[in-house]
Structure formats: C-alpha cells, structure tokens
Structure 1
Amino acid sequence: MGASSQIALSIIVPCYKVEQYLPKCLDSLVGQTLDNIEVICINDGSPDHCIDILRDYEKRFPGKVVVIDKRNEGVWKGRWDGIAVARGEYIGFLDSDDYATPDFAESLYRAAKETDADIAVCGFDRIDLESGKVLSREMTTHRDDFIIDNDPGRLVELNGAPWNKCFRASILKGMRNLSQPPTVLDDLAFHLLAYCDMHGKVTFVPKSLVRYMVRAGSIINTVRKDQVDSIFNAFIEIRGHYERSRPGLLDALDAIAFLHLGVSLVFRLSCDRNVDIKHEIANMTAFLDAHFPTWRRTPYLRASYVVSRGGAFLKLFVVQKVYRAHLMPAFLAAYRFMINRLHVDIKW
C-alpha cells in the first residue's frame, strides 16, 4: 500500500492575515481523533507571522502538517494548489480563523466511507467572535441521504461553504477550473464545479462539528457593484459546463442560481445605501432570464416538490412568488430590519 493510500482525509487551510486565530485552528486539527489525516496549510503571501506559526507546527507535527508558502494569489488559487498536492482519499477544508471539534475529520470521513458518498456534510455553529455567543446552529437536523442523479434538486439544501464538508478527492482533482474565478461567491462557484462531476451520494452528519467565527460587523456583508460582473461571468461559464456535460442538472442549477444570486446577492447589494436596488433587481432578473431561464419554472420550486421537501425549498418558494410579484424591495427592507433591529436572521 503506497503512502498516498494511507491518508484518509486531507484538510486544506488557506492562511492570510490570521496570525491571532491560526494557532487555535491548527490545534483543533492536529488534535483530531482520526489519526491518518494531513493538514495542508497554504500561506498565501501573508504579510504577518502566519508563516512562522505554520513552520513551527510543521516541525512539531512532521507528516501531518504540510506547509505551502507562496506569493499572494487569493483563496481560489490557494485552494487548487492544496488539492493538487493532497494525498487523502477525501479532501476537506477549514478556514484559518475557525476551528473544529475533535471528531470533525473522523465523523465526516466515516460517514463518507460507510455510504460510499461523493460528499459528506456536517452541521456547524456560527459564533460571535467577540462575545462567544452562539448566533445559530445549522445543518444539524436529520436529512436523508440522496443520489445526485436521482434527485438533483436537493443540492439546493447544501450551504455554499466548503468547510463543513469532505469531498471524494478524485472528483476535486479532476474537476474543471474557471478562466476567471469570481471575486465574491467563490465558495459557491467551487461547489458548483464539483457538483458538475458528481453522480453519486450526498450523506449528512447531523452534528455541529465546526465553529464558524463571525467577526464584528460581518453579519451583513455588502457587495460592491463592480464585483457583480465577475460573478456574472463566472456563473455563465459554469452554466456552459453544465450544458455540455450535465444537462440533467440544469433545472437544479437554475434554482441554485436564483437562491444565491436572485436572493442572497441582491440582499447584499441592498445593504449599500448608494445602490438603486430596484435597478439592481431588474438587472438581476434580466440576467437570470437570459442565462438561468428555468428559475421561474424549475420543478424544484413547484408546490408538490416544495411540500414534500419543506425547509429551504419552502422559503425559496415564497420568495420566488415575492420576486415575481415585484415586491422584492419591500421584502429586502423588512429582512434588513429583522437582522439589524430584531437580530433575527433567516438562513436561506
């Protein structure tokens, strides 16, 4: 058995300007209950002392902590650099300012292996960094496993972050890259590229295994208008991949595009008081109609499917009706009020 086959899970950790959080993240990973893992740390040209911290862990945990020191090229390129050298059967991720519970790696890997899944998904806590208060606990309710080819609509349920998942390594190593990755929503774009090459099972671990730290002022993240074009270009390229190789997933892709572009991205744009949100909604509607045309009639937002699945589908079903009734500006204003004044955040 070669060295590569002895590693169950590779965990990729991009690092940039996180020296004050990095030790806690690394301590949580080198203390995992699953022994045969590697932690691949990408020092993305960080100008602080990240590289010194990483070299110290690499020296103390030889073979377990692997450091790639490179010039700054952004998290997208760093993630691909980590995938290229990963030796694990599965690949997971963790942000360097977050940390994991001791059974994070073992729970995800065992679930993936026992069900022969392409991807395993666990729950997580969103925690206020300053106060330590748990803001929300997500993805911890029971969900049945599903085969992507049999029910691709259920991909809508999956959150767009890679750090609460492990992926079959062969899929990530073989998937397409983008000619121009987006400057925002890069995590979601990464997932969509991975889904395009998946035909197998998605399994769930309904336990909170990741502590996602929310920094002050980051509950609402605005998006600049000049970033929208990069998102649009990347998503057009992604849909082209699906049209050529996975046309059976197009209805699901269009539902995901509506959720993350038509709802989440538009909401983030609305947080900028200088933005003409009615104009941006009209622009987004035109974009979705032109490039993700089944968002209005996707079978995964029909009443029968929504009733049978509930959860995220029900919320998206409601907001689709609001969108088509031209009531989104009022809806977004109410949503911002709930977050800012009532401190209630509905997760989409």
Structure 2
Amino acid sequence: MSEAPQIALSIIVPCYKVEKYLPRCLDSLVSQTLENIEIICINDGSPDRCIDILRDYERDYPEKVIVIDKNNEGVWKGRWDGIKIARGEYIGFLDSDDYALPTFSESLYTAAKANSADIAVCGFDRVELETGKRLSREMTSERKPFSIDGDPGRLVELNGAPWNKCFRADALKSMYDLNNPPTVLDDLAFHLLAYQQMHGKVIFVPESLVRYMVRSDSIINTVRKEQVASIFSAFLEIKKIYESSRPELISALDAIAFLHLGVSLVFRLSCSAHAKVSQEVSRMTQYLDNNFPSWRKSPYINFSYASSRGGALVKIYIVQMLYKAHLLPAFLAIYRFMIYRLHVDIKW
C-alpha cells in the first residue's frame, strides 16, 4: 500500500457566528490549486449553523476538511487547538468571514519551501463587506527577503495578522503560550511568540491573494480602557520570554512595541468620543519607557536604517520624531480626519 502524500500546508480556520460567510471561505479553500493541504476548522461553540455547514464540508471533502467542535474558548485557544493536530510542513490561517484566491496556498508554500523560509507573506485586499468595494491593497510591493537573525528590525514591516502568511510548522508547535492572552492585539502577540522561535528567512509574495472583509461600520475599531490592562500584561509576559531566550531580539521587540502600542493602540484609543488623547499618550509613553526603553534610540528606528530599507520603516521613523516632539495628539487628529472625512488610510 502506497503512503499518503505528505501534507504541505495546514490551514486553520476559527469559526464563530459566521454562518453567512463560512461557505464562501470554505469554497475558496477546497478549490486551492495546491492539492496536498488540510483545512482544520474550529467550531468555537458557535450558536448559529456553523457546525452544520462544517460537517457538510467534512462529509464532502473527507481528505481535506477536519472539524474540531468545542466549547467557546475564543480564537486564541482555537488556534492552539488547530496547531496541535496540524500535519502540514507549514501552517497558515484564514478568518472564516474572509476568502482566499485559488493560488493562495500554492504561492505561499512554494515560496517558503523554495527558500527554506520560516515565514512566507503575501499581499491582500481590504474589501467592504456590504458593497464589495476595495478599500486598499497592501503588502504587494516588491520586498527583499531577510533573515530574522541577520536583520530582525525588518520584522516591523510585517502586518500583525496571520491570515496572509504561512509559518514553519515545527516553530509554531514549539511556541510558548501565554498565561493571560490579550483580549485585543492577540494577533500581534501570536506573531511575537512565533518570531521568538524562528531564526531563518522571511520571504514575500507580492501578490494580493486574500480578501479581508471589512464591515463599513467598523473600519475604525476602538479599544476600551479596560482592555488595555490585558494588553500591557501580555506584552510584559512576552518581554520576559524574549529576555530569557532571545535577548538579541529585544531591540526589535521594543521597536514593534512602539509601533503597535505607542502608535496603533493609542490611535484606536483616540477614536473614542470621550478619549483624552494627551493623557493616553502620556500613559503609553511611561509604559514604553519603563518596559521597552530602547524604542527611543532604537537601531531600527533611525534615519540611516529607514533610508536604507524604505517603506514602513520610513513612516515609523517620521512618527517617532513626532512622538518625541510631543506632536502625536495633533498627528492623530489629522489621521482621524483623513480616515473619517477623506476616506484615506495610511497603513503602517
């Protein structure tokens, strides 16, 4: 009897209250041009018809679709459940209200495999769910590959979502878990734990292969003050993991913390009608100074580094200068005006 072909890529799909969109997502995955994939679907205690839809696809595609039916524990735990049983050489993800183009799996896996990469990253479109209008196309510019050990500052370039990437499976299976994962920015925390296990190459596929669906009333997602404590706690836990196991990546971690906490998180806090932006900036600055202090003199946020690499690193350098000059509240006010009034969104 011949052995079954090795699974090239496992794709993990957490599912919760998405019965309206789930068939489109699953249709896009069972139609992938890469044959030897498995699709691990986690029904996270969804109260709608998700489990019935998943069972139908499991019956129709028994060699591809695997269903985990479990009580609701959230997307963080669901991803870990999927990773544990994944058999692929690489592991990818897709949100259950999004969908992938037919060559999504093949393009990512082929690029990762050909370059012995730890991570392969593709581009994506942000699409308005109700109208189908494309809001932006991102991560499609030509980018040189880099080594995590050789140039960790370039990790700042990567968007914080796992659904446009594939990761080396043995790295994900050996990741640390968090005692208290954050209630928001959980995708970023997941990435940071993955980077901690990786030493090799990051490769880019400059094609838009994922359609990330955005509800028109949630283009701006605010963060409640009570959620910030869980973010702070989780990032301190991650910092301790890096200090004990990958101290050479601390400067990169501090730069990532500045971008995603000092800029992105403060921006989301500023979108609340009751936000006191100057106070939020002051609180975040104190947190960064106490716990991620190299952000002020980071080797990865300076003119020389940014000018030699371009793109997102130039934007981060500029906003760091604004931050140090105490001009971030004014910058965020302009940024909100551009998004709300002019419908122009600058991605960092």
- When normalised by structure 2's length, the TM-score is 0.99
- Paired position in structure 2 for 1:197: 197
- Which letter does structure 2 place at the counterpart of 1:149? D
Question: Which aligned pairs between 1:81-96 and structure 2 lie closer than 5 A?
Answer: 81-96=81-96
- Paired position in structure 2 for 1:181: 181
| Separation in 2, partners of 1:211, 1:143 | 21
Number of aligned pairs?
Answer: 347
| Separation in 2, partners of 1:141, 1:302 | 22
Question: Which aligned pairs between 1:295-314 and structure 2 lie closer than 5 A?
Answer: 295-314=295-314
| Separation in 2, partners of 1:300, 1:89 | 32
% identical equivalent positions: 73
1:2 to partner: Cα distance: 6.2
Question: Which aligned pairs between 1:1-348 and structure 2 lie closer than 5 A?
Answer: 6-348=6-348
Question: Per-residue displacement from partner, 1:185-209 (whole Å, max 9, x unpaired)?
Answer: 0000000000001000000100000
1:102 to partner: Cα distance: 0.2
Provide structure 1 residue ranges, at least 5 long, that are not aligned to the other structure: none
| Separation in 1, partners of 2:112, 2:255 | 26
Segment of structure 1 superposing worse, 52-61 or 242-251: 242-251
SS in 1 for 2:218: coil
SS in 2 for 1:274: coil
1:273 to partner: Cα distance: 1.4
1:96 to partner: Cα distance: 0.2
1:130 to partner: Cα distance: 1.1
SS in 2 for 1:179: coil
| Separation in 2, partners of 1:279, 1:138 | 32
- Which letter does structure 1 place at the counterpart of 2:134? V
- Which letter does structure 1 place at the counterpart of 2:248? G
- Tell me how large the CA RMSD over aligned residues is: 0.9
| Separation in 2, partners of 1:61, 1:76 | 26
| Separation in 1, partners of 2:28, 2:193 | 29
1:105 to partner: Cα distance: 0.3
| Separation in 2, partners of 1:297, 1:339 | 30
SS in 1 for 2:344: coil
- Which letter does structure 2 place at the counterpart of 1:103? T
In the TM superposition, structure 1's runs of 4+ consecutive aligned residues that sit over 6 Å from their partners are none
1:63 to partner: Cα distance: 2.1
| Separation in 2, partners of 1:64, 1:123 | 25
- Which letter does structure 2 place at the counterpart of 1:118? D
CA distance 1:2–1:196, shift in 2 (3 Å): farther
| Separation in 2, partners of 1:251, 1:309 | 17
